[in-house]
Amino acid sequence: MKYLYEHIKDFVCEKNIYLTDSERVDEVKDYERFLNDFIAIVDEEITDFIGFEGETRLLKFKIKSIKFSIFVKGNTDYIDEKPIVSEFNKNLKNIGKNGKIYSFWSGDFGQEIGFFYIEDFNVLDKLSLLLKENYDIGQIDGLGEVEKNQESESLEIDVKKIVNERIKENQKVFYTKSDNIILLISFLLVLFGAFFELIVPVNLNIFTGIISGLIIGIGIYQINKRI
């Protein structure tokens, strides 16, 4: 059987893959070496590392001018990789990187853990298909969440589209019921204004001109608004 690690090597450059023993952080200071080995997959290094020991460990360091503060599990020699990968991915763009880091476990691993960095996200589709065909070959942490988020975003877009269409339909139905009445009244206002101008005495032309002009104006405004 060809396991996940071998498949990853088919798609990802070897310098962007890192394997290590998952039990290598007996003390908080051991994270400094791990982090430098880990971040080498994006051709960077950490500086100014300070570690604080406890039930929860705090890792503080810099990459270039970007400051990092990451909380990880204490009282264990296992690498707590999830908060580390998450924090790095949030800041990769700030250090000039356009990709993303993933942690993975391959079916032929013992207590190893692997990481890889990619900028071509089509690779994830290929690896996801392989994992669906045979989940025994390994697991990529966060891959399912990516697919779920994509499905959620797609569903959200579809829901918004349906709601907007319904709103437009409701507006169209509403206006269809009221427009005929308003248009009829508007035409009658125009006719009445013109008729009113004709029947009043000549000596009231100025007064009637203002009134009939207002009536005709309102009618024409309503007609233009509705058509």
Which CA distances in Å does 139 have to 9, 35, 50, 73, 101?
15, 22, 32, 22, 14
- How high is the pLDDT of residue 172? 45
What is this structure's pTM?
A: 0.63
Nearest to 1 by CA among 134, 188, 152: 134
Residue 205 pLDDT greater than 50, yes or no: yes
Burial of 13 (0-12, 13-18, 19+ CB in 10 A): exposed
pLDDT-derived band at 1 (thresholds 50, 70, 90) equals confident
Q: If you write DSSP's letter for every residue of 4-62 in order, what string do you get?
A: HHHHHHHHS-GGGEEEEESB--SSTTHHHHHHHHHHGGGT---EEEEEE-SSEEEEEEE
Q: Are 129 and 32 in contact (CB under 8 A)?
A: no
Residue 13 pLDDT greater than 50, yes or no: yes
- The strand ranges marked E within 135-208 are 138-140
Which range (25-34, 110-119, 172-181) has the least confidence? 172-181
Identify the DSSP state of 78.
Answer: B
Domain ranges of the chain: 4-141, 159-226
pLDDT-derived band at 98 (thresholds 50, 70, 90) equals very high
Identify the DSSP state of 203.
Answer: G
Residue 209 pLDDT greater than 80, yes or no: no
